């Protein structure tokens, strides 16, 4: 690394450390634990069963969405998540390994063709 590159790297270290320390000082900046997320969200279902989520932040909205998925689809939601990531052989054994290879290949192709914004959105959903 060139000499000026090291200087700029060392200049960022105190800024990063200060941001981390100041970020931890505020209770709102701390990541929410799972047992606190339910307090930050409200789920209302209409007469037809359509859910409406009101959340204080994106993390709480994701928690509510996962809750609704499990309410509506039960264990199928978790199993489809395993299959989509290509990890079903970890649970079901070698019989599922062929499907895992296919799903992982499709996932890699999808991630290679997505924009950084889409990748971030997908990563926050998981």
pLDDT tens digits for range 33-81: 656 888 999 999 999 999 999 999 999 999 999 899 999 999 898 888 8
DSSP labels for 13-59? HHHHHHHHHHHHHSGGGSPPPHHHHGGGEEEEE-TT--EEEEESSHH
pLDDT tens digits for range 3-33: 443 343 333 333 333 333 333 434 444 555 6
| The model's pTM | 0.51
The more confident residue out of 111 and 51 is: 51
For helices 116-125 and 58-73, what crossing angle results, to 10°? 60
Looking at residue 94, the DSSP 8-state letter turns out to be G
**How far apart are the C-alpha atoms of 79 and 55, rounded to whole Å?**
26
The residue extents of the domains of the chain are: 1-30, 33-73, 74-126
């Amino acid at each position: 690394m060139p000499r000026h590159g090291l200087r700029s790297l060392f200049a960022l270290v105190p800024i990063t450390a200060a941001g981390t320390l100041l970020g931890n000082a505020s209770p709102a900046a701390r990541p929410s634990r799972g047992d606190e997320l339910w307090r930050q969200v409200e789920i209302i279902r209409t007469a037809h069963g359509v859910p409406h989520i009101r959340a204080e932040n994106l993390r709480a909205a994701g928690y509510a969405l996962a809750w609704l998925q499990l309410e509506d689809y039960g264990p199928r939601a978790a199993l489809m998540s395993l299959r989509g990531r290509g990890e079903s052989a970890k649970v079901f054994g070698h019989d599922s390994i062929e499907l895992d290879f296919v799903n992982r290949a499709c996932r890699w192709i999808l991630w290679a063709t997505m924009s950084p914004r889409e990748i971030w959105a997908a990563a926050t959903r998981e």
